[in-house]
Amino acid sequence: MDFGLTDKIALVAGGASGIGLECAAVLAAEGAAVVIADMDGEAAEKAAEALTGQGHAASHTVVDITDPEAVQAMADQVLGRYGRVDILVNSAGIAGDKLFVDSTLEDWRQEIDVNLIGPMLCTKVIIQNMIERENGRIITVASDSARIGQSRLSYYAAAKAGAIAFFKSLAQEVGRYKITVNVVSPSATNTPLRIEREEGFRRSMGEEAYAERVRKVLRMYPLRRLGEPEDIASAVAFLASQRASWITGQVLSVNGGFTMP
Ligand SMILES: NC(=O)c1ccc[n+]([C@@H]2O[C@H](COP(=O)([O-])OP(=O)(O)OC[C@H]3O[C@@H](n4cnc5c(N)ncnc54)[C@H](O)[C@@H]3O)[C@@H](O)[C@H]2O)c1
């Protein structure tokens, strides 16, 4: 299927690792020029170099998406260079692993800043350009924890649920400008973020209990495997494409059947 992404300009926030990195790769392979925006400048540069080495159009920019001035500088840089952003992917995110009872106000604020305010800031600096051109695709990576709740992810899930509500509302405001706004909602996906979190569980639980946890988790997935970044990136690329021009305000779980909301 031709996704019609040739010559589109795609900005991928959190594009230096995991799901964002794979989104950047798939969008670039489909013909888009990709800007990888991430607070990990070294990884972002490496990712952009890898894509250009494969003959794709890619560049990088360093940004902390919780910092309004840095986000504005990112937009100035990208719009200055390309004149437009056709596709914005919000993939940057962090997830803690504390029980609510052990968490602090600072923990909540940090997760809400990165997982909710960050995507809002990235959207705010790009949306006017999309409105003026009456064209745009905004895709945000949330989490199934926001749809069903999840122990040890309470404030993360709250931030992601906020993002879902925000982007649905935005879809209503900007549909008249032919801008679509959608959310992709993964469950457990094998990325550095998840692998690091799981390592913490393995250390605290011990090998035997952890192996039982892994078996138990897999039984929750009708397709009997966890997600890979390319599973999520395929859905993002579809929603970014011309093929998805009548889909907006939707939350697409990509999750091996883990939840069926
Ligand atoms: N991996 C999973 O199991 C899973 C499940 C559901 C949802 N998600 C969501 O998917 C998205 C991608 O996660 P991932 O698993 O690929 O994680 P990851 O850690 O591999 O990648 C996240 C990227 O975001 C960047 N980032 C973090 N904070 C940032 C900030 N303030 N400013 C700029 N960049 C920042 C990191 O440097 C990193 O490159 C996140 O929004 C996450 O919440 C992941």
Assess whether pLDDT exceeds 80 at residue 1.
no
User: CA 108 to CA 173: how far, in whole Å?
Assistant: 28
Q: How many CA atoms lie within 13 A of 54 on its CB side?
A: 17
Strand partners, 182: 139
The answer to whether residue 155 is catalytic is no
pLDDT for the residue numbered 228: 98
> CA nearest 196: which of 102, 94, 110?
94
Tokens of 71: 């986000």
The amino acid occupying position 190 is N
pLDDT for the residue numbered 146: 98
Q: Looking at ligand 1, which atom is closest to the CA of residue 14?
A: 24
Q: Is 91 in the pocket of ligand 1 (CB under 6 A)?
A: yes
Q: Is the distance from CB of 58 to CB of 28 less than 8 angstroms?
A: yes
Q: Residue 261 — very low, low, confident or very high, per pLDDT cuts 50/70/90? A: confident
The amino acid occupying position 192 is P
Q: Is the distance from CB of 135 to CB of 179 less than 8 angstroms?
A: yes
Q: Is 19 in the pocket of ligand 1 (CB under 6 A)?
A: yes
User: CA 38 to CA 20: how far, in whole Å?
Assistant: 10
User: CA 37 to CA 39: how far, in whole Å?
Assistant: 7
| pTM of the entire predicted model | 0.98
Assess whether pLDDT exceeds 90 at residue 128.
yes
pLDDT for the residue numbered 3: 87
pLDDT for the residue numbered 198: 93
Assess whether pLDDT exceeds 80 at residue 235.
yes
Q: Is the distance from CB of 33 to CB of 247 less than 8 angstroms?
A: no
Assess whether pLDDT exceeds 90 at residue 4.
no
Q: Looking at ligand 1, which atom is closest to the CA of residue 226?
A: 3
Residue showing tokens 């056709």: 86
Arithmetic mean of pLDDT, 198-218: 94
Q: Which of 156, 177, 210, 221 is catalytic?
A: 156
99 DSSP 8-state letter:
-
Buried b / exposed e across 86-99, counting CB within 10 Å, b at 16+? bbbbbbbbebbeee
User: CA 162 to CA 158: how far, in whole Å?
Assistant: 6
Arithmetic mean of pLDDT, 162-182: 98
pLDDT for the residue numbered 74: 98
**Domains (ranges, CATH) in the chain?**
9-188+228-253 (3.40.50.720), 190-226 (no CATH)
Residue with CA closest to ligand 1 atom 21? 17
Q: Is 171 in the pocket of ligand 1 (CB under 6 A)?
A: no
